[in-house]
């Protein structure tokens, strides 16, 4: 059918990317033809992220080198516009606890209003990652907790280095 294609966008802050994000990205890459990981560069929050958008993008690229149909890009416009630019037919997001649901329900309705042709698809988090968030990882690392099992190796190293600079 005309108008169909296999591109999806997985949006997020990814500050930094966690094994939970990578689980969703990997599973998406097994279902869809092309997965564009969209790294939000929110100018309002500039300086409040631990890593710059380009650093966050580089961590994702590094962790997904073996997934040929995955690419990471930074965007700073509306998600529906970015998805259109990428020629995506859907947004794919991970769902963890019930608490994610309320927010995602609202976002999906807003995005549907902005672009009724763009579908929102939700993938349930794998049980081992359902309590994993970037915020949690940052907090743990700040207080000296070991995040080695939660994020890719280079991310853990970069976090230790960044926190050491303070
Ligand atoms: P976070 O909530 O960790 O700060 P982001 O804003 O970067 O994450 O989220 C990007 C997307 O990844 C969202 O759809 C979010 O629900 C999803 N996600 C985040 N952590 C996980 C996880 N551990 N398992 C599954 N999906 C997740």
pLDDT of 128 above 70: yes
Q: Whose CA is nearest to atom 10 of ligand 1?
A: 12
Mutate to test the pocket of ligand 1, among 15, 96, 124 (most ligand atoms within 8 A of CB): 96
pLDDT above 50: residue 2: no
Read off the pLDDT of each residue in 131-149 and give the average, rounded to a whole number.
Answer: 95
Q: State the average pLDDT for the chain.
A: 93
Q: Which atom, in ligand 1's list, is nearest to the CA of 131?
A: 23
Q: What percent of the chain has pLDDT over 90?
A: 87
pLDDT score at 42? 81
d(C-alpha 43, C-alpha 153), whole Å: 28
Ligand 1, residue 11: give the atom nearest the CA: 10
pLDDT tier for residue 1 given thresholds of 50, 70 and 90: very low
Which residues does a 6 A CB cutoff place in the pocket of ligand 1? 12-14, 18, 20-21, 23-24, 93-94, 96, 100, 125, 129, 132-135
pLDDT band at 61 (very low <50, low <70, confident <90, very high): very high
Q: Which of 63-72, 87-96, 128-137, 156-165 has the lowest mean pLDDT?
A: 156-165
Residue 136's pLDDT is 96
Which atom of ligand 1 is least distant from the CA of 137? Answer: 3
pLDDT tens digits for range 12-23: 999 999 999 999
pLDDT at position 46 over 80: no
Q: Is the pTM of this model over 0.75?
A: yes
């Amino acid at each position: 059918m005309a108008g169909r294609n296999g591109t999806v966008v997985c949006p997020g802050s990814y500050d930094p990317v966690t094994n939970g994000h990578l689980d969703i990205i990997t599973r998406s890459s097994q279902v869809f033809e092309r997965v564009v990981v969209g790294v939000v560069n929110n100018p309002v929050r500039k300086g409040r992220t631990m890593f710059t958008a380009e650093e966050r993008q580089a961590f994702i690229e590094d962790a997904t080198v073996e997934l040929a149909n995955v690419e990471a890009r930074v965007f700073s416009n509306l998600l529906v516009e970015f998805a259109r630019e990428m020629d995506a037919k859907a947004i794919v997001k991970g769902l963890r606890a019930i608490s994610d649901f309320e927010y995602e329900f609202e976002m999906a309705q807003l995005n549907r209003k902005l672009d009724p042709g763009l579908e929102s698809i939700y993938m349930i988090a794998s049980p081992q990652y359902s309590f994993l968030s970037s915020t949690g990882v940052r907090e743990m690392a700040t207080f000296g907790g070991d995040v080695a099992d939660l994020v890719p190796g280079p991310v853990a190293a970069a976090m230790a280095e960044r926190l050491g600079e303070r």
